[in-house]
C-alpha cells in the first residue's frame, strides 16, 4: 500500500509567506499615506505672525513713525489713541471678483467648512505701541482679515480669516527701515524675526579691523 503522506505539501510555509507579504504591503500603504499627508501639509501655508519688536527709540518717535508708514502706504486711519498706544486703520478692500479666492490664499487662511464663492476680501491693521523704558518702545502689528462669501442660495456674509503674517511683516519692515536704516530679516522656517534691532552704536563694524602691529 502506497504511503499516503507521499505528495503531501505542508501549507504552513505558504501561509507564513502570504502573511509576510500582506504585512509588507500594509506597511507600504501606511508609509505612502504618511508621505502624502506630509507633502500636503507642507504645501499648506501656516500662520506666521511676527513677534513684537523692541526699538531703541522713544515712544513718541515710534508712534509717529508707524503712523507715517500706515498713511504713506495708503491706509486711512480710523483710530489714533496716542495716550493708549493704539492705531487702527479703516478696512481696506484689496481684492474683488473672480480672483478673490486665490489672492486671499496668499495672505490668509480660509475655513475649510465654508462653501460658496469668495467675492471680496478686506483687512484692517492694528498697531500697538508700548513704553518699555524712556528710550525703548515695543511695537506690535496685527491685521484683521475678512472675506465676503456668497453661498449657493445667494446669501452673503463677511467671514473672519486667519492672517498669514505677510502684511504685518511688510509694515514692520518699513518701520524698521525708517528707524534703523535697514529692514528686519525674517526667517520663514523658524517663524520669528531673525534678529532684534540694535542701536547704531552696537551695529557690527562692516570693515575688517586692522591687526595689531
Question: Within a 13 Å sphere around the CA of 124, how many CA atoms are in the beta-carbon half?
Answer: 12
27 lies in the same domain as 58 = no
> Domain holding 185: CATH number?
3.30.530.50
Residue 32's pLDDT is what?
54
40 lies in the same domain as 57 = no
In this structure, are residues 123 and 94 in contact, taking their beta carbons and an 8 Å threshold? yes
75 lies in the same domain as 133 = yes
Residue 111's pLDDT is what?
78
Structural domain including 34 reads 13-44
Pull the grid cell for residue 206: 562692516
34 lies in the same domain as 59 = no
Residue 195's pLDDT is what?
37
- Residue 207 falls within a domain, yes or no? no
Of 134, 126, 129, the closest CA to residue 57 belongs to 134
How many distinct structural domains can be found in the chain?
2
- Residue 2 falls within a domain, yes or no? no
In this structure, are residues 172 and 203 in contact, taking their beta carbons and an 8 Å threshold? no
Residue 200's pLDDT is what?
38
DSSP characters over the chain: ---TTTT---SHHHHHHHHHHHHHHHHHHHHHHHHHHHHHHHHS----PPPPEEESS-HHHHHHHHHHHHHHTTPPEEEEETTTTEEEE--EEEEESTTHHHHHTTTEE--TT--SEEEEEEEEEEEEEEEEETTEEEEEEEEEEEEEEE-TTS-EEEEEEEE-SHHHHHHHHHHHHHHHSSPPPEETTTTEESS----GGGSPPSSPPPPP-
151 lies in the same domain as 194 = yes
32 lies in the same domain as 113 = no
62 lies in the same domain as 19 = no
Please state, in angstroms and rounded to a whole number, the distance separating the CA atoms of residues 99 and 120. 9
Residue 115's pLDDT is what?
82
168 lies in the same domain as 191 = yes
Residue 180's pLDDT is what?
86
pLDDT tens digits along 11-33: 455 445 554 555 555 555 545 55
- Residue 6 falls within a domain, yes or no? no
24 lies in the same domain as 126 = no
Kindly report the number of other CB atoms within 10 A of residue 5's CB atom.
6
- Residue 93 falls within a domain, yes or no? yes
17 lies in the same domain as 118 = no
- Residue 118 falls within a domain, yes or no? yes
Please state, in angstroms and rounded to a whole number, the distance separating the CA atoms of residues 69 and 174. 7
Residue 93 contacts by C-beta under 8 Å, 6 or more apart in sequence? 120, 121, 122
57 lies in the same domain as 127 = yes
84 lies in the same domain as 181 = yes
- Residue 113 falls within a domain, yes or no? yes
Q: Is the pTM of this model over 0.85?
A: no
Please state, in angstroms and rounded to a whole number, the distance separating the CA atoms of residues 49 and 191. 8
Tens digit of pLDDT per residue, the chain (213 long)? Answer: 444 444 444 445 544 555 455 555 555 554 555 454 444 344 556 767 889 999 999 999 999 999 999 999 999 999 999 999 999 999 999 999 999 999 999 999 987 777 889 999 999 999 999 999 999 999 999 999 999 999 988 899 999 999 999 999 999 999 999 998 766 665 544 333 333 333 334 444 444 444 443
Residue 73's pLDDT is what?
95
Amino acid at each position: 500500500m502506497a504511503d499516503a503522506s507521499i505528495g503531501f505539501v505542508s501549507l504552513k510555509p505558504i501561509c507564513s509567506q502570504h502573511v509576510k507579504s500582506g504585512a509588507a504591503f500594509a506597511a507600504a500603504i501606511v508609509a505612502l499615506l504618511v508621505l502624502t499627508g506630509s507633502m500636503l501639509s507642507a504645501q499648506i501655508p501656516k500662520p506666521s505672525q511676527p513677534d513684537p519688536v523692541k526699538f531703541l527709540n522713544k515712544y513718541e518717535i515710534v508712534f509717529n513713525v508707524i503712523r507715517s508708514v500706515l498713511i504713506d502706504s495708503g491706509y486711512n486711519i480710523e483710530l489714533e489713541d496716542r495716550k493708549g498706544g493704539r492705531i487702527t486703520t479703516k478696512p481696506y478692500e484689496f481684492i474683488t471678483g473672480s480672483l478673490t479666492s486665490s489672492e486671499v490664499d496668499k495672505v490668509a487662511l480660509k475655513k475649510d467648512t465654508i462653501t460658496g464663492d469668495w467675492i471680496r476680501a478686506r483687512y484692517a491693521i492694528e498697531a500697538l505701541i508700548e513704553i518699555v523704558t524712556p528710550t525703548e518702545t515695543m511695537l506690535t502689528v496685527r491685521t484683521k482679515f475678512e472675506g465676503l462669501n456668497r453661498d449657493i442660495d445667494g446669501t452673503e456674509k463677511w467671514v473672519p480669516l486667519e492672517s498669514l503674517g505677510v502684511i504685518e511683516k511688510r509694515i514692520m519692515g518699513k518701520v524698521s527701515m525708517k528707524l534703523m536704516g535697514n529692514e528686519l530679516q525674517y526667517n520663514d522656517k523658524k517663524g520669528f524675526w531673525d534678529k532684534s534691532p540694535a542701536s547704531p552704536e552696537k551695529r557690527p563694524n562692516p570693515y575688517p579691523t586692522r591687526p595689531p602691529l
